[in-house]
C-alpha cells in the first residue's frame, strides 16, 4: 500500500503526519519506507537528527518521475508513505499518481479548506488514469471543544467524494518535541494521547482503502 500525504498548501503538518504514520505502522511489524518527495527535505532532516537506530527506511525522491520510479523500490516494503511537496506542480502530480490513497491534512482554518480544493482537483484528475485512487481528509492540529474544529468537518464534507476521517490529530507539543530528536510520538510516549490518535488514524486509513478495493 502506498500512502501519499499531500496538500497544496504548505505548513499543514504533512511531514509530522508522514513520519508518525510511518513509525506507527513500523511498530506493528510492517516493513515501511518513508519517501521524502518534498524539495525542502524535512523528512530527511528528521532522519538525520535521529540518534537511535531507524525503525523504517527513509529515502529522498523529490522528482517528477516518482510515479514511474517508486514501484521498483516499493516492492520490498509492505507500506510506503510519501511526504509530498506543496503547491500544484509536477512533483505533486507524480506523488499522487504513485499513491494508492492520498491523505490530505487540513487544519481548522478557512485558508486550509480553500486550499484543499486544489489537492482534490489533482486527485480527481489522476483518477482518470488511476480509477482506484482514493483520497481522504484528516483534520490536523485541532483544538478541542472549539466551534471551528467542528465547522471544518462540515466544510470538508461538501467535497462529497473525499471522506473525512474521524481520527483527528489535536494540537500537542509532543509532536514538535519528538521531531526535534528525530523521534516519533509512539517512541516518546507510546501510551500517550498523540500515539493513540496516530494509531486510530492509521486504522481508519487502512479501512477506507480496503472498502475502496472491495
Q: DSSP characters for 57-78?
A: EEEE--STTHHHHHHHHHTT-S
Please give the C-alpha separations between residue 186 and each of 26, 37, 55, 198, in angstroms, as whole numbers.
10, 23, 11, 8
Q: How far apart are CA 23 and CA 208, in angstroms?
A: 20
Confidence of residue 68 (pLDDT cuts 50, 70, 90): very high
Residue 67 CB neighbour total at 10 angstroms: 19
Q: Pairing between strand 32-36 and 101-106?
A: unpaired
Question: What pLDDT was estimated at residue 213?
Answer: 47
Residue 7 has pLDDT above 70, yes or no: yes
Domain of 60: which CATH number? 3.40.50.300
DSSP 8-state symbol, 193 = H
Residue-number span of the structural domain to which 207 is assigned: 2-213
Residue 188 CB neighbour total at 10 angstroms: 16
- Residue 45 sits at the vertex; the CA angle it makes with 101 and 114, to the nearest 5 degrees, is 45
pLDDT above 90: percentage of residues in the chain: 73
Question: What pLDDT was estimated at residue 214?
Answer: 45
pLDDT digits (tens, 9 = 90+) for 116-167: 888 899 999 999 999 999 999 999 998 877 777 678 888 888 888 899 999 9
Name the more confident of 97 and 110.
Answer: 97
Q: Which three cell numbers stand for residue 74?
A: 516499493
Q: Torsions phi, psi of 107, nearest 5?
A: -85, 155
| Structural domains counted in the chain | 1
Q: Torsions phi, psi of 189, nearest 5?
A: -140, 80
**What pTM, to 2 d.p., does this model score?**
0.92
Residue 54 has pLDDT above 90, yes or no: yes
Amino acid at each position: 500500500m502506498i500512502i501519499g500525504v499531500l496538500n497544496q498548501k504548505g505548513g499543514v503538518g504533512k511531514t509530522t503526519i508522514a513520519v508518525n504514520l510511518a513509525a506507527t505502522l513500523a511498530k506493528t511489524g510492517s516493513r515501511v519506507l518513508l519517501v521524502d518527495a518534498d524539495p525542502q527535505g524535512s523528512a530527511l532532516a528528521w532522519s538525520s537528527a535521529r540518534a537511535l537506530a531507524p525503525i523504517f527506511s527513509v529515502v529522498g525522491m523529490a522528482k517528477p518521475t516518482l510515479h514511474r520510479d517508486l514501484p521498483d523500490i516499493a516492492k520490498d516494503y509492505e507500506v510506503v508513505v510519501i511526504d509530498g511537496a506543496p503547491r500544484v506542480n509536477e512533483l505533486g502530480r507524480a506523488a499522487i499518481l504513485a499513491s494508492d490513497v492520498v491523505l490530505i491534512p487540513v487544519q481548522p482554518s478557512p485558508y486550509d479548506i480553500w486550499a484543499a480544493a486544489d489537492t482534490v482537483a489533482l486527485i480527481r484528475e489522476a483518477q482518470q488514469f488511476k480509477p482506484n485512487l482514493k483520497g481522504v481528509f484528516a483534520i490536523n492540529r485541532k483544538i478541542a471543544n472549539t466551534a471551528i474544529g467542528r465547522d471544518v468537518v462540515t466544510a470538508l464534507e461538501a467535497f462529497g467524494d473525499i471522506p473525512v476521517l474521524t481520527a483527528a490529530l489535536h494540537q500537542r507539543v509532543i509532536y514538535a518535541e519528538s521531531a526535534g530528536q528525530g523521534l516519533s510520538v509512539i517512541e516518546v510516549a507510546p501510551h500517550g494521547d498523540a500515539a493513540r490518535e496516530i494509531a486510530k488514524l492509521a486504522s481508519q486509513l487502512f479501512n477506507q482503502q480496503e472498502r475502496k478495493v472491495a
